[in-house]
Amino acid sequence: MSDRRRPSDREPLPNRQPLLDRKPRRRAALSALAALALAGAAACSGSSAGDEPTAQAATAPGKTSYPLAFRNCGQKVTFTRPPQRVLILNGTSVAESESFVLLGLQKHVLANAQSYGVSDDPSMVAAVKALPTRGLTMNKNFDVPAEQVLAAKPDLVVSTWSGGFDAKRGHATREQLAAAGITTLVNPVNCAYGKPGASEAEKRAYERISIESSHEFLALLGRVFDVQHKAAAVSADLRRRVGAVRARVAGRPARKVLIVYPGMSMMNAAGLPAVMTGRITDEVIAAAGGVNAFAGRSRDVTSTLTKEQLATARVDVVAVGAFTPSEDPAAQARTLFAEYPQWQASKTRTYTAIADGAFLGPLNAWAVEKLAKVVHPDG
């Protein structure tokens, strides 16, 4: 996709090392990324509710009428026109920046702090990398510090979670930004995450993150930026793709799938590869005709899983997750097969590689299609 940045978007913000040059703190950053990925991969499916009514997002697409006002995570936000200078906070997420790309909203992005390095959509890494960064740097909590956000003078700041506006983490608060005339937006399904005193509705929404949650954020952006027809078309195509896979594998025996991120081993007390279960992860596996090898386990399975539990699990298919371009999923699969030869997957050498499609974001369809090809290759 083309980079339609304005010349002014290339001017760096005043501060130290650029966003993409932070190798000395790489391991800590990966641990933070793993923590948020884990937080977005546990529980059951459902729809979100962050004060932005899902019923509105589900109505037939039309033209946005401004001023557009609604409540987002308890805070009233008002748009008098489509935002033109959007700053996307990191939050160790890539769901929001990928949503902007899929909706063709790159020209509205002033600065993007999200990156992932690999993607289930081969074109997405370059597309996200092409978004302007304006020299943003990370603080010790791996997000853009308050002074940089304010200095950039955005008209909208987007965060994947409420914690992106937590002053204790060195971030600008929603109130502080509002006082500067800057609107803020949290991905509604994550309102409860990082928000003290979250409402019961927000907590329920967070516990029910699903593939549908990714569509709801697309619909929300469609309303805010007056691209409702585009958002509806993108969602319809993604639903069609997932539905086609579900129809193809319907009635077939569910095979046990292990989604494992070797590069996130710092999340496990014993240094084992990070095993993902719950929420969207389980739904992606189910759509592909499988069942999570650790289905029903609590969200702390990633940190508490023992080598014995991993060794005795029934595993028919291994999905090796990656989030840095330096990782080699094929080599990581061979290592796992050698360490756990008793798995059926090890005996048949059955694996695939996945990346961002197993988590909250618009690329779930890619992960479903990848998994289905190895879970039920004959169908």
Domains of the chain: 68-226 (3.40.50.1980), 252-375 (3.40.50.1980)
Query: pTM score, two decimals?
Result: 0.86
Q: What average pLDDT does the segment 221-237 reach?
A: 98
The yes-or-no verdict on residue 25 having pLDDT over 60 is no
Q: Please tell me the predicted confidence (pLDDT) of residue 77.
A: 98
CA distances from 195 to 74, 107, 186, 198 (A): 10, 31, 11, 6
pLDDT at 296: 82
Residue 62: band (very low, low, confident or very high) from pLDDT cuts 50, 70, 90:
very high
pLDDT tens digits for range 144-172: 999 999 999 999 999 999 999 999 999 99
- Check: CB of residue 50 under 8 Å from CB of residue 109: no
The reported pLDDT for the residue numbered 34 is 52
State the pLDDT at residue 116. 86
Percent of the chain residues past pLDDT 70, beyond the cut: 84
- The rounded distance, in Å, linking the Cα atoms of 372 and 250 is 11
Q: What is the mean pLDDT of the chain?
A: 87
Task: Kindly report the three-state secondary structure assignment for every residue of the chain.
Answer: CCCCCCHHHHCCCCCCCCCCCCHHHHHHHHHHHHHHHHHCCCCCCCCCCCCCCHHHHHCCCCCCCCCEEEEECCEEEEECCCCCCEEECCCCCCHHHHHHHHCCCHHHEEEECCCCCCCCCCCHHHHHHCCCCCCCCCCCCCCCCHHHHHHHCCCEEEECCHHHHCHHHCCCCHHHHHHCCCEEEECHHHCCCCCCCCCHHHHHHHHCCCHHHHHHHHHHHHHHCCCHHHHHHHHHHHHHHHHHHHHHHCCCCCEEEEEEEHHHHHHCCCCCCEECCCHHHHHHHHHCCEEECCCCCCCCHHHHCCHHHHHHCCCCEEEEECCCCCCCHHHHHHHHHHHCCCCHHHHHCCEEEECHHHCCCCCHHHHHHHHHHHHCCCC
pLDDT at res. 21: 36
pLDDT of residue 13: 28
In the predicted structure, residue 36 carries a pLDDT above the cut 90: no
Least confident of 40-44, 102-106, 281-285, 330-334: 40-44
CB 12 within 8 A of CB 135: yes
Express each pLDDT in 281-293 by its tens digit: 999 999 999 999 9
Residue 43: is its pLDDT beyond 50?
no
What share of the chain in percent tops pLDDT 90? 80
pLDDT one-digit tens code per residue, 341-365? 999 999 999 999 999 999 999 999 9
Strand partners for 261: 274
Instruction: List, for residues 292-339, the tens digit of each pLDDT value.
Output: 999 988 778 889 999 999 999 999 999 999 989 999 999 999 999 999
Q: Answer whether residue 11 shows pLDDT above 50.
A: no
Higher pLDDT, 50 or 164: 164
pLDDT score recorded for residue 61: 86
Structure token pair of residue 16: 């130290």
pLDDT score recorded for residue 19: 39
Is the per-residue pLDDT at 50 higher than 80? no
* Identity of the amino acid at 196: P
Q: How confident is the model at residue 23 (pLDDT cuts 50, 70, 90)?
A: very low
Task: State mean pLDDT over 16-44.
Answer: 43
| Local confidence band at 49 (pLDDT 50, 70, 90 cut-offs) | low
